[in-house]
Every structure is written in structure tokens, then in C-alpha cells.
Amino acid sequence: MSKRNVSRRQFLNYTLTGVGGFMAAGMLMPMVRFAVDPVLAGGSESDFVATKQKIKDLSTEPTRVDFSFTQVDGWYESEVTNTAWVYKTKDGKIVALSPICKHLGCTVDWGGDKEHPEQFFCPCHYGRYTKDGMNVKGTPPISPLDVFTTKEKDGILYLGQRKPHGEA
Ligand code: FES
């Protein structure tokens, strides 16, 4: 039976490689998980939040709908309040727009500018959006308002994730 001797140098190499690999895996795993987790987590029922808005009360005029939900961020839980501008199109489709201005994040208001009563208006730098959320050329915002996904259940409006215009 042959007996293999491991030199001090080899032993040190094996040990350092093992410990280094273990430490690298320990650092990389949370990063990989953080990057991949949202991709793997599909949309679910819990992505929608119930509002107090009855579907039958919606009209073609945008209505401000406030809603709140519990947000879990790691170990921290907080109650978040959010807002959407919601209306029905002429063919009955529900549109829910984010009120966050795409210029620098102020809050837009429906009909806030007397000269353009049929548009969303951002008072911070006079940004304007048409009723469907498209930014008006020549005003500061360079992209349309985000859109919430919507769902109806028992006559109540549910709002889901906020997505860029055209993706909801
Ligand atoms: S933040 Fe809305 S126009 Fe500037």
C-alpha cells in the first residue's frame, strides 16, 4: 500500500482554497437569490389590494382612489398608503394611473390646470398628461404615467402592481 505524503505547502493550498470557496459562496448566494427571487416569484392573488371603490360608481371622469396595504421588507412591516387615478373608458375598460409624475416624482392632479381641465397636471414644473396618462410634448415629463393592474371582485376594485405604461 502506497502512502502519499502531503507537503505543508499542499496542505495550506487545500485549506485556503476550501475556506476561500466557502466564504465566496456565503457572499454570493444572497446576491444571486436577491437577483433571481423577483423573477421566480410569479404574480399571485396577494399582489392585488382591495380598495373601497365600487366598480359601479366609476365613471369616465378620473376619480382619486386611496388604498393601503401592509408591506413586508425583510423583518420590517409597515402600512403603506397609495393612490391611483381611476376611470372607465367608453368601452367599459378600467384604467388606473399612478399619480407619480415621471419628471421628478411630484404628485399629479386631475384637472389641476384651469387652462387644461381635461388633463393631469403636475404643479411642480407644470408637467401635463392626457387622460390616458400620456405625457404632453413640450412639458417636462418625458414618459407616460405608470399604470396599475386592476381586477374586479364582488363589485369592488382591486389594484395590483404598478407597471410602465403599455406593460400593464
Ligand atoms: S415633477 Fe412633475 S413636472 Fe417636474
> Tens digits of per-residue pLDDT, 103-113?
999 999 999 99
At residue 43, the pLDDT reads 46
Nearest alpha carbon to residue 125 among 101, 146, 147, 149? 101
- Pocket probe for ligand 1: among 97, 98, 104, the residue whose CB has the most ligand atoms within 8 Å is 104
Q: CA-to-CA distance for 116 and 132, rounded, in angstroms?
A: 14
> Tens digits of per-residue pLDDT, 132-151?
999 999 999 999 999 999 99
Q: Find the 81 Cα to ligand 1 centroid distance in Å.
A: 21
Q: Find the 25 Cα to ligand 1 centroid distance in Å.
A: 44
Whether 119 contacts 97, CB under 8 Å: no
What share of the chain in percent tops pLDDT 90? 67
Q: CA-to-CA distance for 168 and 161, rounded, in angstroms?
A: 8
- Look up cell 408591506; give the residue: 71
